[in-house]
């Protein structure tokens, strides 16, 4: 565990279609090391005998690898806290449940937004998903059918930024796994259907000082936002291109 496991650095050079980017920065030549974070150890109830641990990437000389997004997030959180900003984050995960019909993947149901019919149509698989997540120690705050047919949303309780990011990864894998066990496909694609609503991963961020004061709120401010709140929004807009990749 201490030394981790080696893997090709090209793991960070695959596109969304699982193709290696030609002439990219990282190639199959070169190795980095995955160092597991024992605190993330989680048994996966939707499998027979498996568990997961999330890892940080290190180089052979045990230095943080430049392409390790988990290490980068830790660095940013530390910098923010040194400035007096303590964040709490929560993510809403939207996804489609799909079934194979006439050799095509189609929505599992044709029900409406937040409808009882939508909950009834997917009660078995959604109940299994929520039970699975809770067994994994994930706190599910809310669930409801979304706007698109066969589209659903699960909201996870807020936590610190690293925990929220780690949880988001295992939540998506768990939902896909439970869906597969039921003969379905769970898709988190932003726009799987051109004529239906898209799916998002809505990130909610709160900022507090070390005493727990909400730094984004000002009862007397325009829209009840503090100057810090407006600067925060301005920073998001200024870095929007980078945030969207």
Question: Do 118 and 185 lie in a common domain?
Answer: yes
Q: How confident is the model at residue 29 (pLDDT cuts 50, 70, 90)?
A: confident
Q: Among 87, 52, 47, 117, which Cα is nearest to 204's?
A: 87
CA 213 to chain CA centroid, Å, is 27
Residue 127 has pLDDT above 80, yes or no: yes
Question: Do 27 and 107 lie in a common domain?
Answer: no
Please tell me the predicted confidence (pLDDT) of residue 82: 98
Residue at 61 is within a domain: yes
Question: Do 98 and 187 lie in a common domain?
Answer: yes
Residue at 114 is within a domain: yes
Residue at 72 is within a domain: no
Question: Do 197 and 220 lie in a common domain?
Answer: no
Q: What would the pLDDT profile of 135-160 be if each residue is shown by its tens digit?
A: 999 999 999 999 999 999 999 999 99
Q: Which residue has the tokens 């974070």?
A: 37
Question: Do 198 and 226 lie in a common domain?
Answer: no
Question: Do 43 and 90 lie in a common domain?
Answer: no
Residue 176 sits in a domain whose CATH number is 3.30.590.10
Residue 28 has pLDDT above 90, yes or no: no
What is the pTM for the complete model shown?
0.93
Residue 240 has pLDDT above 90, yes or no: yes
Q: Which of the pair, 139 or 12, is modelled with greater confidence?
A: 139
Residue at 209 is within a domain: no
> How many domains does the chain contain in total?
3
Residue at 112 is within a domain: yes
Residue at 137 is within a domain: yes
Q: How confident is the model at residue 36 (pLDDT cuts 50, 70, 90)?
A: very high
Question: Do 199 and 103 lie in a common domain?
Answer: yes
Give Cα separations from 146 to 72, 143, 235 (angstroms): 33, 9, 30
What is the span of the domain harbouring residue 219?
A: 215-243
Asked whether 68 and 42 are in contact (CB, 8 A), the reply is: no
Residue at 122 is within a domain: yes
CB atoms within 10 A of CB 35: 20
Question: Do 21 and 129 lie in a common domain?
Answer: no
Question: Do 162 and 200 lie in a common domain?
Answer: yes
Question: Do 59 and 104 lie in a common domain?
Answer: no
Angle between helix axes 161-181 and 123-135 (nearest 10 degrees) is: 140
Question: Do 102 and 127 lie in a common domain?
Answer: yes
Please tell me the predicted confidence (pLDDT) of residue 66: 95
Give Cα separations from 102 to 105, 182, 191 (angstroms): 8, 18, 21
Question: Do 168 and 192 lie in a common domain?
Answer: yes
Residue at 234 is within a domain: yes
């Amino acid at each position: 565990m201490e030394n981790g496991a080696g893997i090709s650095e090209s793991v960070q050079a695959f596109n969304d279609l699982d193709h290696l980017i030609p002439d990219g920065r990282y190639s199959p030549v070169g190795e980095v090391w995955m160092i597991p974070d024992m605190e993330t150890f989680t048994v996966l109830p939707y499998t027979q005998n498996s568990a997961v641990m999330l890892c940080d990437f290190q180089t052979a000389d045990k230095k943080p690898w430049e392409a390790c997004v988990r290490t980068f997030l830790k660095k940013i959180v530390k910098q923010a806290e040194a400035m007096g900003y303590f964040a709490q984050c929560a993510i809403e995960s939207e996804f489609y449940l799909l079934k194979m019909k006439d050799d095509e993947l189609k929505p599992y149901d044709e029900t409406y937004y937040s409808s009882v019919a939508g909950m009834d149509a997917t009660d078995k698989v959604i109940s299994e998903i929520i039970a699975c997540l809770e067994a994994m120690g994930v706190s599910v705050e809310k669930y409801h059918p979304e706007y698109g047919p066969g589209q659903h949303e699960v909201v996870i309780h807020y936590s610190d930024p690293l925990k929220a990011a780690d949880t988001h990864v295992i939540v998506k894998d768990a939902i896909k796994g439970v869906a597969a066990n039921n003969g379905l496909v769970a898709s988190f694609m932003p726009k799987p259907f051109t004529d239906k609503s898209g799916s998002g991963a809505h990130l909610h961020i709160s900022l507090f000082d070390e005493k727990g004061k909400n730094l984004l709120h000002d009862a007397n401010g325009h829209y009840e936002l503090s100057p810090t709140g407006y600067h925060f929004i301005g920073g998001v807009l200024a870095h929007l291109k980078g945030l969207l990749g």
